[in-house]
Amino acid sequence: MKTLLNIFALIAVVGSSFIIWAILGTPKVNDITGCVVTHTYKIKLCAKNENYVNLQKINTIFKNLVIISEDASFYSHRGFDFAELKNSFSSNMSTKRIARGGSTITQQLAKNVFLPFDKTLTRKIREAILANNIEHILTKDQILEKYLNVIEFGPNIYGITAAAKFYFSKRPADLNLLESAFLTYLIPNPKVYHRVYTNKKLTPYSRFRILALCYRMYRFQKILLGQYYAAREYVDQFPWKDLTAWQNNNLNGILTITDPDYSDMPSQPSSDEPIPEFDSTVDYVEPSLDELDIPDDAFDY
């Protein structure tokens, strides 16, 4: 019995020492309020940079897509979402692959700015500490703005301004629904997923994910059903450089046409409109693979 207690005591001491070491090695976050150079890619995150864009000048559809996709509880948690972490673990276990991550937008910002990308327990502890500290320094809108200006969208493509220009020759304010969904689709694995743009052809998986993101926007009531139908109609014209002004307006919910699914469409949300808080408990069902005509090998890419 005494030996067992000694073992538990040793484990407690070692565990505590490890956590203290991780805490002591955590970077300070004060610099994030001004200009800071990111740890891994040495990108200067600064509001004075040419490519830095204010949150109000980013298309509302894109901002909503990122929140819905990456962190639906962003406006309600304090940097760490235990419920999403649990859901992520369950989802990954059931699919036997990394189907979803558990990091919040704040954690991703902390990782992108301050930490190496190694997958270690030490980094995860520091990531959680940094996320908590960032939440006490920046507002939610400031966190989202910096996140969208620093994340990677492909090899050497950092921030939404560079991404919108590289892929679609547009400003962030001018992105349509499909373009926004494509850029959101890139975020989890930009170095791999950007290849569909190089090949100028969507893979079955990328097509499925883009339409699933659009469908999720409809289920969260952030777009109208007609906009989702427009996305389904135009998705195979990727990379959408030849869409007419009419088609772009259709995707952004601007036109009113005779089809009942498109009737009474409001204007595109104003770029100054505040981003709503999302309810991560909303019960929605994404389209099935059969509904979106996706073959069995859709996830092989």
- DSSP-based helix, strand, coil % in the chain, nearest 5: 55, 5, 45
Per the CB < 8 A criterion, the answer to whether 271 and 59 are in contact is yes
For 174, the domain range is 2-300
Structure tokens that stand for 295 in this block = 């073959």
pTM equals 0.75
Confidence grade of residue 81 (pLDDT, cut at 50, 70, 90): low
Peptide bond into 204 cis (omega under 30): no
The CATH number covering residue 157 comes to: 1.10.3810.10
The secondary element (H helix, E strand) that includes residue 36 is: strand 36-37
Give me the pLDDT at residue 227, please: 93
283: amino acid identity, one letter: D
Give me the pLDDT at residue 289, please: 43
Give me the pLDDT at residue 268, please: 39
The secondary element (H helix, E strand) that includes residue 44 is: strand 44-45
Place of tokens 């869409």: 243
Domain total of the chain = 1
d(CA 194, CA 187): 10
25-39, 75-89, 108-122, 204-218 — which one is most confidently predicted on average? 204-218
151: amino acid identity, one letter: I
Tens digits of residue pLDDT in 149-199: 999 999 999 999 999 999 999 999 999 999 999 999 999 999 999 999 999
CA–chain centroid gap for 209, Å, is 13
